[in-house]
């Protein structure tokens, strides 16, 4: 069904299409430029020029590797929630809170009604798409995750907050669709944090995607899926991009009990390790997936964004993934 | 009934000012080999003193060391036990924070103080009652991964952890703690484990001496378990009141034979409560509670808030206590 939808959008993809989740490592030159921008030593225009150069680098690398659906690599973004909080009206930068260990971040605070300021990611998507004939995914953070990872001092409750964000995020999706974007990923890594709120996340995603002509993916990771599966499949998207390898493919056990019917972007390597799993190891994981999933359902990608890896590690891991897919495709 | 404003959990270890980020810098320096472990411990001591001083300045009657030495609540305990190695990151309940997952690879055993030294430090520095909270055996067993150890399942690990934590309770009493708060957030995910938990708490209670033993249920609403929690061998029950209000209804309906600690200011959101509203809600609930003491508290550890707002939330608790005491003259 989803393949028909892709073809109706003009997208003919091979079996086991390959992609990347979203973020790719920032080039060292860009990291230095971002630090210089924070210190006021270079202008936003100079920083944007560096980010465009890095985007072009990653588009070229993904083409060289042979990925089927490309990403812009999010070279112009920092944190996935803070980026949208910085652009939407209604947010202010909060104080520092701890993420883990010795890492801290400025958690956004919703202090007023959230509203869309006009296109946020569209020009970046257009630029990335102009560099390649392959489809480039539009990349957004979902309303439930933006709500959950922000403080709220304005709306009366969490549902009202998520739905308000969803209404405004939909306008960004509409702008992406109007610009010609056909595959749009709306990430919801917080989806499983409160299983009792899954209906809220579904309702919010409905507000974002309903009636729009695009193929929608949602990325979910590092959660307690056992508490929300199979109900999570009610999310109104065509493709679930799931971290599988970090948890040693244990989700396949759930899929065996309750069939997984939508498309899946199947994470074939853990992104939080310096190690590169060999093509043979990654191929074995794909073969395992195909024991409970149809080849027509399965896309192949990393577990999560690659921004915490070095450029060299990410290229090596993606290269091994491409070799693994080529090997498995031969047997189909 | 004595009503106190108290904090037993974490406190933000850094703030937004440069001076308030000295622990972050010290850890980075230590990781680069530019600072010794002793110098890092001194930096931790200084931040623990600051956390205690800020709680006292906010007006609290009982305080914690802010848990500023703990990487996270799980690995800080499990990582000290022989038979455990600390591995990769996992999300901690419904937060955007992460803990390092313990892998239990061989038989665990008691190997000396886990938190007693930290409590002794806090007791000396604070000169007022010190509360200490730690994850209990149910949650520790469920958030650990058993890998080749002689435990056939998580219940077996729970049973192995119980005497270790009971021994630590005895040490905490000797170190000068006034109360121990056993945190069991996993109970809401696995209510069927309540009887196992009850047995473990009984073993801990047997070693606690004069310590008050509290059970804390966070990261959810405990309404469905509330009546059964009343039968546990504990002195008091600490509840998170920020998950929708059902547990408040349960208190109103069933009362409480146990002392209550009301997690009444939201430790997960920056919106600031008013002392008047907190006092009004607390008064309504505490009418239904027995026990010689009641605590006004934050709903959870405060590390999820920016430091300035964490301080303000504690000050609200102290002001609400003052309103209640003024109204009732009950202290």
Q: Is the sign of the CA dihedral A117, A123, A124, A126 positive or negative?
A: positive
- Do B189 and A227 count as a contact with CB atoms less than 8 A apart? yes
Confidence check: pLDDT of B108 > 60: yes
Confidence check: pLDDT of B88 > 90: no
In SS3 terms, A42-84 reads as CCHHHHHHHHHHHHHHHHHHHHHHCCCCECCECCCCCCCCHHH
Classify residue A109: in a domain, yes or no.
Answer: no
pLDDT the model gives residue A3:
87
* B180 backbone φψ class: left, alpha, beta (φ>0; ψ -120 to 50): beta
Mean pLDDT of A310-316: 95
In SS3 terms, B297-330 reads as EECCCHHHCCHHHHHHHHHHHHHHHHHHHHHHCC
Which pLDDT tens digit goes with each residue over A64-105? 999 999 999 999 998 899 999 999 999 999 999 998 788 898
**Which residues lie below 8 Å from residue A267, measured CB to CB, with a gap of 6+?**
A21, A221, A241, A242, A243, A244, A245, A246, A301, A302, A303, A304
Higher per-residue confidence, B299 vs B148: B299
Tokens 């993934």, residue located: A321
Task: Give the SS3 label for residue B6.
Answer: strand
Which pLDDT tens digit goes with each residue over B231-284? 999 999 999 999 989 999 999 999 999 999 999 999 999 999 999 999 999 999
Confidence check: pLDDT of B328 > 80: no
Count the domains in chain A: 1
Higher per-residue confidence, A274 vs B199: B199
Q: Does domain B2-328 have CATH number 3.20.20.220?
A: no
pLDDT the model gives residue B91:
85
Mean pLDDT of B145-170: 95
Classify residue A96: in a domain, yes or no.
Answer: no
Instruction: Please give the Cα distance from B265 to B55 (Å, whole number).
Output: 15
User: Do the Cβ atoms of A124 and A55 come closer than 8 Å?
Assistant: yes
- Do A99 and B98 count as a contact with CB atoms less than 8 A apart? yes
Enter the DSSP assignment of B120: H
Which pLDDT tens digit goes with each residue over B164-186? 999 999 999 999 999 999 999 99
Enter the DSSP assignment of B270: -
Instruction: Please give the Cα distance from A216 to A288 (Å, whole number).
Output: 25
Q: Which of B20, B32, B91 to mutate to test the interface with A (most CBs of A within 10 A)?
A: B91
Answer whether the bond into residue A230 is a cis peptide, omega within 30°.
Answer: yes
Confidence check: pLDDT of B193 > 60: yes
Confidence check: pLDDT of B90 > 90: no
**Which residues lie below 8 Å from residue A29, measured CB to CB, with a gap of 6+?**
A50, A53, A54
Q: Which of A95, A144, A156, A270 to mutate to test the interface with B (most CBs of B within 10 A)?
A: A95
Q: Where are the alpha helices (DSSP H) in A90-216?
A: 122-130, 143-148, 158-178, 198-209
Task: Give the SS3 label for residue B221.
Answer: coil
Mean pLDDT of A236-242: 96
Classify residue A87: in a domain, yes or no.
Answer: no
CB-count burial class (<10 Å; 0-12, 13-18, 19+) for A118: exposed
Q: Which of A82, A91, A98 to mutate to test the interface with B (most CBs of B within 10 A)?
A: A98
List of chain A residues whose C-beta atoms are within 8 Å of the C-beta of residue B305: 95, 97
Task: Provide the token pair at A247.
Answer: 């948890």
Tokens 């390092």, residue located: B100
- Confidence band for A33, pLDDT divided at 50, 70 and 90: very high
Instruction: Please give the Cα distance from B205 to B74 (Å, whole number).
Output: 21
Confidence check: pLDDT of B119 > 80: yes
Task: Give the SS3 label for residue A267.
Answer: strand
- Confidence band for A2, pLDDT divided at 50, 70 and 90: confident
CATH code at position A217:
3.20.20.210
Instruction: Please give the Cα distance from A120 to A123 (Å, whole number).
Output: 7
List of chain A residues whose C-beta atoms are within 8 Å of the C-beta of residue B90: 222
Classify residue A164: in a domain, yes or no.
Answer: yes
pLDDT the model gives residue B331:
45
Mean pLDDT of A266-273: 90
Size of interface A-B (CB pairs under 8 A): 67
pLDDT the model gives residue A102:
86
Instruction: Please give the Cα distance from B248 to A97 (Å, whole number).
Output: 29
**Percent of chain B residues topping a pLDDT of 90:** 90
pLDDT the model gives residue A223:
75
Q: Is the sign of the CA dihedral B185, B189, B195, B199 positive or negative?
A: negative
Largest CA distance in chain A: 57
Report the candidate in A64, A67, A55, A68 with the shortest Cα–Cα distance to residue A24. A55
Classify residue A107: in a domain, yes or no.
Answer: no
Chain A interface residues (partner B, CB cutoff 8 A): 94-102, 104, 107, 109, 148-149, 151-153, 190, 193-194, 222-223, 227, 246, 272
- Do B306 and A246 count as a contact with CB atoms less than 8 A apart? no
Q: Where are the alpha helices (DSSP H) in A210-278?
A: 251-257
pLDDT the model gives residue A1:
54
Higher per-residue confidence, A303 vs A225: A303
Confidence check: pLDDT of B330 > 70: no
B93: closest chain A residue by CA: A193
Higher per-residue confidence, B31 vs B81: B81
- Confidence band for B221, pLDDT divided at 50, 70 and 90: very high
Least confident range from A130-139, A163-172, B87-96, B135-144: namely: B87-96
- Confidence band for B329, pLDDT divided at 50, 70 and 90: low
Domain with A130 in it: 2-78+118-330
How many helices (H) and strands (E) are present in chain B, helices listed first?
11, 10
Instruction: Please give the Cα distance from B79 to B100 (Å, whole number).
Output: 9
Classify residue A261: in a domain, yes or no.
Answer: yes
B27: closest chain A residue by CA: A102
pLDDT the model gives residue B290:
86
pLDDT the model gives residue A311:
96
Q: B241 CA to chain A: closest CA distance, Å? A: 14
- Do A109 and B270 count as a contact with CB atoms less than 8 A apart? yes
Q: ipTM score of the complex?
A: 0.89
């Amino acid at each position: 069904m989803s393949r028909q939808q892709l073809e109706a959008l003009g997208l003919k993809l091979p079996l086991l299409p390959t992609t990347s989740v979203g973020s790719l490592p920032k080039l060292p030159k860009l990291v230095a430029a971002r630090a210089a921008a924070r210190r006021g030593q270079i202008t936003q225009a100079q920083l944007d020029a560096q980010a465009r150069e890095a985007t072009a680098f990653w588009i070229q690398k993904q083409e060289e590797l042979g990925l089927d659906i490309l990403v812009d690599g999010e070279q112009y973004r920092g944190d996935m929630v803070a980026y949208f909080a910085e652009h939407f009206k209604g947010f202010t930068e909060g104080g520092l809170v701890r993420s883990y260990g010795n890492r801290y971040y400025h958690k956004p605070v919703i202090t007023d009604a959230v509203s869309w300021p006009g296109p946020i990611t569209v020009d970046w998507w257009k630029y990335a798409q102009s560099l390649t004939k392959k489809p480039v995914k539009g990349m957004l953070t979902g309303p439930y995750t933006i709500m959950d990872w922000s403080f709220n001092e304005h709306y009366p409750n969490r549902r009202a907050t998520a739905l308000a964000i969803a209404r405004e995020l939909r306008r960004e999706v509409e702008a992406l669709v109007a610009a010609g974007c056909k595959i749009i990923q709306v990430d919801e890594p917080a989806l499983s944090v409160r299983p009792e709120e899954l209906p809220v996340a579904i309702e919010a995603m409905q507000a974002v995607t309903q009636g729009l002509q695009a193929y929608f993916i949602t990325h979910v990771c590092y959660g307690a899926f056992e508490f929300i599966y199979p109900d999570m499949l009610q999310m109104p998207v065509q493709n679930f991009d799931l971290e599988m390898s970090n948890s040693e493919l244990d989700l396949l056990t759930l899929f065996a009990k309750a069939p997984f019917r939508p498309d899946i972007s199947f994470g074939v390597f853990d992104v939080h390790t310096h190690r590169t799993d060999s093509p043979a190891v990654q191929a074995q994981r794909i073969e395992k997936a195909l024991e409970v999933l149809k080849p027509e359902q399965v896309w192949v990608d990393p577990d999560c964004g690659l921004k915490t890896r070095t450029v060299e590690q990410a290229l090596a891991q993606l290269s091994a993934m491409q070799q693994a897919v080529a090997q498995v495709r031969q047997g189909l | 009934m004595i009503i106190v404003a108290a904090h037993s959990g974490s406190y933000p270890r850094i703030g937004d000012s440069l001076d308030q980020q000295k622990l972050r810098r010290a850890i980075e320096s230590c990781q680069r080999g530019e600072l010794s472990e002793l110098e890092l411990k001194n930096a931790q001591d200084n931040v623990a003193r600051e956390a205690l001083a800020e709680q006292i300045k906010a007006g609290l009657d009982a305080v914690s060391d802010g848990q500023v030495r703990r990487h996270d609540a799980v690995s800080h305990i499990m990582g000290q036990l022989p038979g455990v190695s600390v591995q990769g990151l996992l999300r901690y309940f419904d937060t955007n924070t992460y803990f390092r997952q313990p892998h239990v690879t061989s038989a665990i055993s008691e190997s000396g103080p886990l938190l007693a030294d930290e409590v002794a430090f806090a007791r000396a520095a604070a000169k007022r009652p010190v509360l200490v909270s730690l994850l209990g055996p149910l949650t520790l067993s469920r958030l650990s991964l058993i890998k080749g150890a002689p435990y056939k399942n998580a219940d077996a690990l729970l049973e192995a952890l119980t005497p270790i934590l009971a021994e630590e309770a005895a040490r905490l009493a000797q170190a000068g703690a006034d109360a121990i708060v056993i945190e069991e957030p996993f109970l809401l995910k696995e209510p069927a484990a309540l009887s196992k938990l009850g047995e473990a708490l009984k073993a801990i209670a047997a070693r606690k001496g004069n310590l008050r033993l509290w059970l804390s249920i966070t990261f959810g609403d405990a309404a469905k378990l509330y009546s059964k929690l009343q039968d546990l061998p504990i002195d008091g029950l600490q509840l998170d009141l920020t998950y929708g209000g059902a547990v408040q209804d349960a208190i109103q309906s069933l009362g409480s034979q146990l002392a209550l600690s009301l997690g009444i200011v939201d430790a997960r959101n920056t919106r600031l409560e008013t002392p008047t509203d907190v006092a009004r809600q607390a008064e309504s609930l505490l009418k239904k509670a027995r026990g010689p003491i009641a605590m006004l508290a934050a709903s959870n550890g405060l590390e999820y808030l920016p430091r300035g707002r964490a301080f303000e939330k504690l000050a609200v608790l102290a002001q609400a206590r003052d309103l209640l005491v003024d109204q009732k003259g009950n202290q």
